[in-house]
Each structure stands twice: as C-alpha cells, then as structure tokens.
Structure 1
C-alpha cells in the first residue's frame, strides 16, 4: 500500500505496526496533510521461531526523509489536542513498563504515541515523571 510516486529512494522507516488496521489512523492523518508514504509488509525470515512471533511488528511505514520533521510537528500539535486515548488504540495492550520505555525513547516512536503513553500511565494512576 502506498500513496507515493515511483521514485521512493529517499523514503526511510518511520514506524512499524502489527497490522494495516493499526496503521490506518496514521495513514489517514498523513493523507489529510498530503504526506506521501509507503506501507510495506515486512517479509518473514526463514526459520523464524513461532514462539513470540505475535509480538513482532509485520508492517513498516516509510515516509520521505524530508517530511520527518514536518510530520513530527503535525503529530505533536494534533496529539496535544487529545485528552483521551481511543479505546481501540494498540497502546492499551502495553504494560506500564512498556509505556515508560516509549516515553524514554521518543525518537523511536511518533509524537502521538509518546503523548498517548503519558495519558495511559496517568489514567492508570502511574504518571510518568
């Protein structure tokens, strides 16, 4: 899946997802701001063990390197307007230590996920300080 032109050499990995459905809200957001992207299925590795495989993200969102700062800024501004994490958001499945890891490593997550991790910890009575 993509909304890009054929020349995508400057596209870099932005975020991974467990399913295309998990990625859809972000894809809709990117489309709203006319940001080109690619959503690619990550190929299975030969001989990969089955144990723990359900924990591995299988879809990769790629965006143009030149759009990274703009996308992060747009997501930060949009996230600040949200006070409740949507009930179907995948971060609800994360444990408190996993949510803290997101906050500690914001460069590995999109700004909305970092904001949502903070909201979830607050809702669980374990605010991040």
Structure 2
C-alpha cells in the first residue's frame, strides 16, 4: 500500500517531531520535502519548502487518535490567557467541525473551553461533525476556467506546461482525514485534462513528423 500525505509543515523540526512520535508507537511513516507545484497556480501561493509526513492510509485514524491522546494532558492544563478563550461558542464549534484546519492541541482546548461553558459534545456529536467535514472535503474542487484555457493554449504551442496542466487536472488526488483518496477536481475538469493530454500527444507526433521531414 502506498504512503499518502498525512500532515504537511513548513518547518522540518515539526515534521521530524511528529515522525518520531509515530515511530515510537510503531506507526510506520516517512518524511519527504518538496516545493508546491501547481497548487500555487490555483491560488495556494506557498513558495517555501514543504515537509510532508506520510503514512499508509489504513493508519490515518490510528495516528489521529494518538495525537488526540497525546494532547489531552496539555489541554487539561487550562491557561486563562490562551487566545481561544476570546473565541465565541460558534467559533469554537467551528474548530471542532474543521479539525483539519487546526492543530490537535487547539482542537482539544476548544472542546475543553466549550465544556467549561456548559457546551458538551459527546462522542456521537463529535463523530457527526467529523462525518460532515469529510463529506465536505470529499467534494471536487473548482478549477478557474483560465487555467483550462492556458492548458489548451500551451499544449497547442507544443509547450510542456500544457501537458503538465493536463496531467494535473486529470490525475491529481487529495487525501481525506480518514485516509481515503479522492480525485481533486470534478469530472468535467478531469475530462478537459485528458483532452489536453491527448491533444498534446497528437501534436507532439505531428510536430515531430514535420521536424523529421524538414531534415530530409
């Protein structure tokens, strides 16, 4: 089974610390580094080196539960000056609803603060929030039409960028918090990606034939 991205960090120390914790609990993982590629073209403008902690998808939930358990004791040490105390109940509930956007400690603290305010969430409620969030994240992402046009434009010119965009549109996948992988973009956009790839291959053969004929 292939490894999938579990967490990403912009600091190597954070990635290594998580990897060490996972390995101490016999969860196989690996750390790699890369730079954002086409994500920056679609609006996620990070140009720094990214450090990925990767796991086998079957161990995502095990790792999630481990991180929750590890952060439990620290979350119990209430800090009245912690910035989460300034959050409204609705804002704290949003943290529980979107744990993928927050670190585990903030997630635990948000739950503790809500409990101190008389807003308790039992395991059934937590699982319901988690399920809704996964359904939301599983929805295909939108691609700006301009990038589809750019893909066609560059592939007609014989540019590698066009093929790269086509391959990204067609094959890009995202990993959900439960370890499942889904195609990133909706079916219509993936069809455009395949058309760009096919057009690029056809034009490559055509341009190659023209170039060879000119040499003769």
TM-score range, shorter chain: 0.5 to 0.7
1:68 aligns with 2:21: no
Match of 1:21 in 2: 13
**Equivalence map 1:7-18=2 (5 Å):** 9-18=1-10
- The one of 103, 107, 115 equivalent to 1:114 is 107
Question: In structure 1, how many angstroms separate the alpha carbons of the residues matched to 2:11 and 2:23?
Answer: 18
Higher relative contact order, structure no. (Cα contacts within 8 Å, ≥ 6 residues apart): 1
Q: In 1, are the aligned partners of 2:16 and 2:31 still within 8 Å (CA)?
A: no
Question: In structure 1, how many angstroms separate the alpha carbons of the residues matched to 2:67 and 2:95?
Answer: 16
**Equivalence map 1:50-129=2 (5 Å):** 53=46, 58-82=50-74, 83=76, 102-108=95-101, 111-112=104-105, 114-115=107-108, 118=110
Q: Which runs of 5+ in 2 are unaligned?
A: 120-216
Match of 2:29 in 1: 37
Based on CA coordinates, which of the two structures has the bigger radius of gyration? 2
Moved more, 103-112 or 33-42: 103-112
Flag the structure with higher helix content.
Answer: 2
Q: In 2, are the aligned partners of 1:75 and 1:110 still within 8 Å (CA)?
A: no
Question: In structure 2, how many angstroms separate the alpha carbons of the residues matched to 1:28 and 1:84?
Answer: 24
3-state secondary structure, aligned to 1:42: strand
Question: In structure 2, how many angstroms separate the alpha carbons of the residues matched to 1:109 and 1:11?
Answer: 22
Q: In 2, are the aligned partners of 1:72 and 1:110 still within 8 Å (CA)?
A: no
3-state secondary structure, aligned to 1:80: helix
TM-score (norm 2): 0.36
Moved over 3 A (4+): 99-104, 107-113
Q: In 1, are the aligned partners of 2:33 and 2:49 still within 8 Å (CA)?
A: no
